[in-house]
Each structure stands twice: as structure tokens, then as C-alpha cells.
Structure 1
Amino acid sequence: MSIKSFAAKIFAKVVKAQIDSWANNPVKAQEKVFNQLIKQAQHTQFGQDHQFSKIKNQQDFANFVPVKDYEALKPYIERVKQGEQDILWPGRPIYFAKTSGTTSGAKYIPITKESMPSHIKGARNAILSYINETGNSDFVNGKMIFLQGSPVLHEENGIKVGRLSGIVAHFVPRYLQKNRMPSWEVNCIEDWETKVEAIINETISADMRVFSGIPSWLQMYFERLQERTGKTITEIFPNFNLLIYGGVNFEPYRPKFESLIGKPINSIELFPASEGFFAYQDSQKEKGMLLRLDAGIYYEFIEADSFFEENPDRIGIADVALGVNYVMIISTNAGLWAYNLGDTVIFTSLKPYRVLVSGRIKHFTSAFGEHVIAKEVEEALQQAVTEHRVEVSEFSVAPQTNPETGLPYHEWFIEFNKQPDNLTTFAQSIDEALQNQNSYYQDLIQGKILKTLVISPIVENGFQRYMKAIGKLGGQNKLPRLTNDRQLADKLYELKLVETNDE
């Protein structure tokens, strides 16, 4: 065992003890964060506008600070962008993480000197938790790759602006600098396809042991490697033993990844966003990701079913229940207050608090009142994939409300790596699995309001071509699993990415 590997195990034990100290006292940890946030922001413009001086508890906070999306917070952020101080948080942020919003155009998410360490420690502690539980630390001696956006930043009124992953690239710990790939020069390449080819050139002969990134873009990288060499990823990198991913549910990708890699592989799931690093998989044995309750983020939860009602109940961590779909609301030491992140989560454990990301509150299909969410379509597809021994690369679902003939239906756009023997039977399997999860959808099918879902196969690399066409290929961009309109569907047809279905 190398000195570096041994040191990693010792460090992992120390950090695990620190994690346990707050994970075993979750309500107290959240109360501490809440009180610190309110106290520190009391004299900011936002704090004065929302009477922070009168806030003593969570209920006061809910009374004085309504839930806000980016648009509601934007007037404050615009003032920060102009260089004003003490608007959302004391002083000014050190960075803006620029994201490509679907409804608000570009979003500028503040990152402060207080919030930046949380982004770094989240990923670090995920890896250290893995080392502590498994005893596997040999990978620290090899190369690690993090598929991310360009680290090139620009300034606006003295505040540096860039993609979160590019910002984080500036904070890679010194002890990992020699292990980290790709090179800085390659990481700065903006065009994603050019960048992937350059990454392959740099890594193909290296001792790669850890790969990290969004599954769809890791898959693209692995496929290009396989095309070039004719080998599985394990044959190319025999010491590869850990996959780190986040952003989307990995299960639909798992069969394809195991085929590309050549064997099952240990993995760590992360829940990062520009707004904060919220959770990570802390155990290979338990389901869900550990919610970080000591990281400068105060959490509130609203049941997704009642989210669009007037004044829905907002609850803290002490009152959540297992198995309920919640919209996650955050207040942070970056100056986001009662902020609707847009993500929905389900708790899988309350001791400690672990969550699964179930989807997006705006990414659903409910054109007929069914309110189907991402978790439901992903699990339905996974069941059918296993049953029919099919491989799926990517998919998205949209309602078809005005078909040329017959009843309306859900249209599933699926890019297959291995197609089913019978597309109609495969569609029926997905449909039955979806009905078993969603009683509203079941009622619509059985009441002959909707007909069984229809699968429209997508041509090879079709979704990559779609993302490129809309300017969102690579980086942290993700294909929505669900839409409630035909915008994405119509674009797929316009680009001629839908195969002719003869069944």
C-alpha cells in the first residue's frame, strides 16, 4: 500500500467521524444553520425587505419569506451583478455560476466565499465515505477524469463568471493535481465533440482508475473509446474500478454502461447543482444519498401534489416522511432565500436522512391530469428493459394530445442500443408498469381517455444531434425525461431524428 493510499484511509476515518457528528443530530444541525443564515443576512437588503430581525423560527421565516423561483429573485441578483454590496448576502459573491435556464434564459447563481467550500467538500466527502466503507483506496494512485465544462472564466463588475464545473476546476486539491485529467488546455476546449476526441487522445494510454461526469456524456466518451479500439473499457483501463456520476438517474444507463465497461463497477452518486452541493451516496449498501445538513443550506419541503396550491405547507427536516414526493426549497449562505430549486426528492431513510432525486417539478407530463413524474417513467422503463433484455441509450416522453386518428397517448422517444423483438409488446410492458405506479394514469387508460403509450424510436446518436442543434451538447446539459408540451417532440421530427415505425 502506498503512502498516499494509506493517508487517504486515515483521512477518511477522520472525516467520517465529522459526518457522523451532525448526521446523528440532524435537527440540531439544521437549526444551527438556520440561525446562522438569518443572523448573517439580517442587515442585507433582502434581510431588511423581509424583516429578518423579527424571524425567530422556521414558521416566522415561512410567514415573512415566500417561496421564490429565479425570476422572483432576479431583481436582487441584477443589483448584485451591477456591483452593489450587501444585497442577498454580506459583501459580494466571488463567483456567478452561469446556467442555461429553460424558462429564464441564462441564470446567474451567486457563489460566496462561505458557500464555495461546500461545493468542494461535498465531492471530497463522497469519495472519502466510499474509502472508509469499502477500504478501497488504491485508485488514488492512478489517474482520475472529471468530464466538465471549460474552466475559462470572465468578469462582470469584478465578479468572475463561468460554469460551476469550470469554477470548481480551480479548486482541485493539490494532492489530486497530478492525478487529474484531462489537462488544463484540453479542459478549456469549448466545442464538446472536439473536446471528447482530445480527452481520448490524452487518456487512452493512461492508468485511468476513476471516471466522473453526467452519464450521457460519459457514455459518449466510452463509446468513442470503444469505436477507436474495439475493446471494452476494462480492457483499455484494467485498473478502472470507480464511476462517479450525478445529474440524472443512472439506472436507465446501467445495462449499457456494464456492456461498455465489460463488468459491473462500483459507483458513487452525487447531487450537485450551481445552487449547492446537496447530497451524495455515502454507502454502497444503502439506497439513497446522504442529505448534507451542516453545509450552509437550510432545507424546507413541500409535497409535490400540493405545490401549486395557494400557500402549501412548508416543513423542515424534522417533519418529512418516507416515500413522499417533495419539492425541495433551499436557503443558503450564497444568498438564495426560500428558493425553489425545481428538483423533487423522496426520502429513503430518516436515520440518517437520505434522498433520491425523483425528478423536476416542472418536468412532468400531465396534459390529461395524470401528473406522471420522472421517477415513475424511469422505473417503468427499467422494468421493461430487464424483462425484454433491451438496451436503452436515452429517452424522453411527451404527450400527444391531438393525434390524427384514435385516442391521445404518451409518446416515448427512445434511442435503443439493442431494440426489443416486438416494439408493441415492449410498449405494453412499460405501460403496465407505469399504470402500477400512477393510479391517475391507470384510470385514464382503463377509462379509455388515453390509449397505450406509443414508442417512437430515435436514430443512432439522435439525442446528441438534438442537443447539438439547440446548442446544449456537452457540459452539464441534460435531456429532460418528461415534457408537458410538444416542443421537444416537434424538434425531433423537424430534425428527422425519429425512425419510421412499421409496427
Structure 2
Amino acid sequence: MTIKSVLSKPFAAFAVWQINKWKHNAVNAQNKILKKLIEEAKETAFGKDHHFAEIKTHSDFKAHVPVRDYEGLKPFVDRVVNGEANVLWKGKPLYFAKTSGTTSGVKYIPLSKESMPEHIKAARNAILSYIHETGKADFVNGKMIFLQGSPTLSVKNGINVGRLSGIVAHHVPAYLQKNRLPSYETNCIEDWEQKVDAIVDETIHEDMTLISGIPPWVQMYFDKLSEKAAGKKIADIFKNFSLFIYGGVNFEPYRAKIEQSIGKKIDSIETYPASEGFIAYQDSQKDKGLLLLADAGIFYEFIPADEYYNDTPTRLSLGEVELDTNYALILNTNAGLWAYSIGDTVKFVSKNPYKIVVTGRIKHFISAFGEHVIGEEVEHALLSVANAEQVEITEFTVAPQVAPKMGLPYHEWFVEFSKAPQDLIAFSKKVDAELQKKNIYYFDLIEGNILQPLIIRTLQKDAFVNYMKSEGKLGGQNKVPRLSNDRKLADGLQKYIA
């Protein structure tokens, strides 16, 4: 035990004390944030256009500010990108987080001097909450790795631009810098495969105790480590590795393979960071719900997912939500995003405190025949059967086949197995039965002979890695969508069918 691990415990206790001040009074915290956001931005161009000076309540806010996605907010963002001040938020942003949009091309998400510290504080508090609850702090003595995008920044009209994970790398607290890997030079490597190879070389002989990243890319790191170490398990390479932090995708489809690679079960913390704001993190090892950060410069709104495409959907504040309802998440932030649809869907699993699970993307669904199947449902259907039959999944995605050469339309599943089922047809039937249980509309379509049961295509080893590489989307913050309502991804995977 070192002085750092000893001091981390009272530091963690203090952080949790601060969290608890708003954790059980989250609605009040949200009301204060809305008022503060409106007051801070009422003299901006957006605030004047939307009559912020007249807004006193959430009802007023909804009357003046419509829900927009990035495309809808783009005319204002473009003014900020072009160097104009006081447009969406006072002054100019500290950074633009650069992301890839499906319809908008490159997206520039502003990060302000008020919002940037909230990203850092949330990541810190996720770890401190873990220390306080478990009493485990020895991992702070070892080396920590954060698999992330390049920290190299470009400049656009005087404002630094980069990937969120690369920007965050510039704000790692000084007390963590000595423990942090990889080196800055390695982190700057753009080619993901070269970067992971360099990270393996830098870390394989270090005392790695904490590893963080998006699960499929962490798995790639583990595979390369094991290969270099003559097939050793990660727990044998890093004997003190004890904490895995992840976010960006649901961990469950990757859990079995990652735990197999490690060689033992270790504690993990799920986080929900986005370029638009750090939204939630797992504050307890006793449940999987993520604590919604109600006092972090973001005022949240929630639209019932089945109303999202209505002309006038219901917009709820935190105090109005219900448990187990799928909501589209809407953000209002201290970086100047207003009634902004982030594209994610969430469900509340607790209201005291307010905890969520991420259920998917509002645009990632299949509804070729009105079934509106969502990510949470396909993940449950596949994993419940796979776990029961000791089948292991590397990656998967689903798309509709609306015009097959023969027979009825169907949902086509592309699955890369690390341990395949003995009888694929029987396995497919069980997965289809589970999906029918989860989605009544899908059940009706199967029963009514409008759809035939799903068909699983088994993919070659590394199919998804090779596909993402071919699309220039290997590594970093890139993720494979679970569901598509078109055939672009499905057609791209055809050549990888085993």
C-alpha cells in the first residue's frame, strides 16, 4: 500500500459526500440547472432568437425551443465554427469535438470552459465511487491505460479541434500522469492497428492495473497481447489487473470473450460519456444501472421513443419519467446545445436515485414492416440463448431482407461466433422465439406469415474488424451498429460469410 492508495480513500469519501448532496434531490438540481443555463445564455444569438428572457419554466422552454438534431442546429453551429462569438453559448468554445454523423458528415460539437471540467470530474468520480464502495484502492499504484483516439489537435478559426477522447487526454490530472500509458507519441499514431501494436510493446512488461476503452477495441488489444505472450491469459501477463472501465456500447455481447481472454472475472465500471456531455456512470458494483448526472451542467428532457417522430411529441423533465419506458434522450448543455437530440434511447431502472440503462439508438432499429425492433431486444434475444447454450459471440448486427429471392421477407442476422452453436438452425429458432417474446409486433408478423423466422449468417473470424478497416473506421470511438433499417452494412458483410 502506498501513500497514493491511502489518500485515495478519504478523497473518495469526500467526492461521494458531494455526490450524495444532489443524488437524492436530482429533480431540484435539474430545475436549478435549467434556470442557470437560460440565464447564462439569454444574451446569445440563440437566446435572443428563442426569447430566453421570457422563459421561467420548463413549459415556457418547450414553447420557445423546438427539439433539433445536429442537422437542425447546424446553422447555429456553423456560425460558431466560422469564428463568431456568443452564438449558442457565451464567448467561444474551448474545443470542438469532431465526430462522424450519418447524415451530416463531420459534426463539430462545442466544448466550453464550463462543460469541459464536467467530463473530467465525472470520469474521476466514477473511479472514486468504486473506491468508496469497495475499499479497493491498490490499483491506483499501478499503470493505467486508456485506449483512445489521437490527442493531436487541429485548429479551426482559433479553436482546437479533435476527437473527444483525444481532447480529454490533455486534461488528465497531474496525479495520474506518471501512471498513465501509452506514451503521448504512441497515442498520436493514427493507424489503429499500428497503434495497438505499439501499445502492446509499451505495456506488455508493465504492471497494468486498470484498463479502459470501448470493448471491441480492448478485445483487439487483448488478442494482440496474448499472441505476443505465447498465448498467455491477460491475468497472467498483468497479475495485478483488477479494474476494467468501459463505455460506448453494451458490454454484454463482449463479456464472455473478454472474461475468457482475461482468464478471471474482475470488477468493471460502465460509463456513458458522449461528445455532448458526460451523462452517467455506474456508481455501484451492486447493480448495473448508471447514475444520471443531474448536477453536471446538463438539463435533460425525455421523449417516449414511440412518439419521437410525432409532430408534437411529449417532452418530459426528470421528475415526470416512468420506470421501464424507452425514452429518446434530449440534452440542454452548458456548451450551448439546446433541446438537442443526441440520438440515444434510455430506460430508467430506478428513480431514487435516478438510474438508467442505455437501450440503443433512436435511428438504429428495424421497422421494415412496422415491428420497430430495437437494440435492447435483439441483444436480449441472442445473448439469453447464447448464455444458456454456452455459445460465445464476438460481434453481430441485424438488417431486414425485404426482397429475398425465395420465400417471405426476414430479419437477417450476421454473427461472428468465437464459440459457435452445434446446431445453428435450432439455435436460430430459439433466438427467434426470444425475440417474439420481447416484441409483440414481431410476434404478430411471424404468426401472420408476413415475415419468416430470422436467419443467421455465420461470419468468418475477424469479419467485423476487417469490414471496419475497409470502411476506414477501425478503432477509436467507432462502433458497429446493432441494427440497420437498410442493407448498406449487411451488403458489406456478404463477402465475410463463412
Q: State the TM-score, normalizing by the size of structure 1.
A: 0.98
Match in the other structure for 2:311: 310
1:230-241 map, 5 Å: 230-241=231-242
Q: In the TM superposition, what is the alpha-carbon distance from 1:31 to its structure 2 partner?
A: 0.6
Q: In the TM superposition, what is the alpha-carbon distance from 1:287 to its structure 2 partner?
A: 2.7
Distance 1:389 1:25 in 2: 43
Count of aligned pairs between the two proteins: 497
1:19-38 map, 5 Å: 19-38=19-38
Q: In the TM superposition, what is the alpha-carbon distance from 1:497 to its structure 2 partner?
A: 1.1
Q: Which runs of 4+ in 1 moved over 6 A?
A: none
Q: In the TM superposition, what is the alpha-carbon distance from 1:105 to its structure 2 partner?
A: 0.3
Q: Does 1:394 align with 2:433?
A: no
Q: Which amino acid is 1:362 matched to?
A: K
1:166-181 map, 5 Å: 166-181=166-181
Distance 1:414 1:228 in 2: 27
Match in the other structure for 2:461: 460
Match in the other structure for 2:496: 497
SS in 2 for 1:379: helix
Structure 2 unpaired stretches of 5+ = none
Q: Does 1:447 align with 2:448?
A: yes
Q: Which amino acid is 2:431 matched to?
A: I
Q: In the TM superposition, what is the alpha-carbon distance from 1:226 to its structure 2 partner?
A: 1.3
Q: In the TM superposition, what is the alpha-carbon distance from 1:39 to its structure 2 partner?
A: 0.2
Q: Does 1:154 align with 2:168?
A: no
Q: In the TM superposition, what is the alpha-carbon distance from 1:123 to its structure 2 partner?
A: 0.7
1:424-435 map, 5 Å: 424-435=425-436
Q: Which amino acid is 1:498 matched to?
A: I
Match in the other structure for 2:253: 252
1:93-492 map, 5 Å: 93-229=93-229, 230-492=231-493
Distance 1:77 1:345 in 2: 26
Distance 1:156 1:34 in 2: 30
Superposed CA deviations along residues 468-495 of structure 1, whole A, max 9, x for unmatched, are: 11111110000000000101111112xx
SS in 2 for 1:17: helix
Q: In the TM superposition, what is the alpha-carbon distance from 1:309 to its structure 2 partner?
A: 1.1
Distance 2:290 2:443 in 1: 30
Distance 1:468 1:122 in 2: 32
Distance 1:138 1:368 in 2: 53
Q: CA RMSD in A?
A: 0.6
Q: In the TM superposition, what is the alpha-carbon distance from 1:461 to its structure 2 partner?
A: 0.6
Match in the other structure for 1:90: 90
1:55-74 map, 5 Å: 55-74=55-74
Q: Which amino acid is 1:384 matched to?
A: V
Q: Are 1:69 and 1:341, in contact at CA under 8 Å, matched by a contact in 2?
A: yes
Distance 2:368 2:318 in 1: 32
Distance 1:404 1:82 in 2: 51
Match in the other structure for 1:14: 14
1:35-54 map, 5 Å: 35-54=35-54
SS in 2 for 1:35: helix
Superposed CA deviations along residues 385-421 of structure 1, whole A, max 9, x for unmatched, are: 1122111100000000001101111000001101100
Distance 2:271 2:27 in 1: 22
Q: In the TM superposition, what is the alpha-carbon distance from 1:384 to its structure 2 partner?
A: 1.0
Q: Which amino acid is 2:227 matched to?
A: E
Q: Are 1:245 and 1:268, in contact at CA under 8 Å, matched by a contact in 2?
A: yes
Q: Which amino acid is 1:80 matched to?
A: V
Structure 1 unpaired stretches of 5+ = none
Superposed CA deviations along residues 325-382 of structure 1, whole A, max 9, x for unmatched, are: 0001000000000000000000010000000000000000111110010111111111
Superposed CA deviations along residues 243-267 of structure 1, whole A, max 9, x for unmatched, are: 0000010011111111101011110
Q: Which amino acid is 2:115 matched to?
A: S
Q: Which amino acid is 1:402 matched to?
A: A
Q: Are 1:154 and 1:160, in contact at CA under 8 Å, matched by a contact in 2?
A: yes
SS in 1 for 2:20: helix
Q: Are 1:364 and 1:483, in contact at CA under 8 Å, matched by a contact in 2?
A: yes
SS in 2 for 1:200: helix
Distance 2:366 2:136 in 1: 42
Q: Which amino acid is 2:8 matched to?
A: A
Q: Which amino acid is 1:20 matched to?
A: N
Q: Percentage identity across aligned positions?
A: 61
Q: Which amino acid is 2:497 matched to?
A: V
Superposed CA deviations along residues 59-92 of structure 1, whole A, max 9, x for unmatched, are: 1101100000001111111111111110000000
Q: Are 1:287 and 1:348, in contact at CA under 8 Å, matched by a contact in 2?
A: no
Q: Which amino acid is 1:398 matched to?
A: A
SS in 2 for 1:150: coil
Q: Are 1:93 and 1:112, in contact at CA under 8 Å, matched by a contact in 2?
A: yes
Distance 1:172 1:50 in 2: 37
